[in-house]
Structure 1
């Protein structure tokens, strides 16, 4: 059995950084697309945030079962908690795109 120090020595830094950047990009695209969908559908208040939550959970499930093959701790530092966390900047991106598309589509309603 290896100690945590030995396990940390086997981690290759550039791979961890690449995986973290890729995970951030996927979550950013997911939040922007869900914001666009919420704006186009004309969702308001908690319905829009419910869509954001559903999109985050759907993205997490796809990443967990397809990309990480059920072992996110092997690929991402922090494991499943890091995959589920949408991040503050992605929540703000969702709101920005949501209001943008809502204003474009429903300007004369």
Structure 2
């Protein structure tokens, strides 16, 4: 007669579910990182077509800041710096000071 330990079988099923969730989470994290990096590439291409004279967005009208991505791109660069995918030197000059400020607020070291 076959002796089945139901408790052990349930634990194995739960471990399998957790392993599947971990794989899904890793895949999702990689997809998000790819999307963030793609967004920065698009942003940098748009900036290269926009005359700014290398100014910081502090000196620009709010409507211009909104058109060039403003706060949302600052947060994208902060996230990439936090994950080690970008350095502060990789951030476009136009938002670099704001990214530095946000990193300081979040106590993210800029290596």
TM-score normalised by length of structure 2: 0.36
TM-score by length of 1: 0.37
Q: Is the radius of gyration larger for structure 1 or structure 2?
A: 2
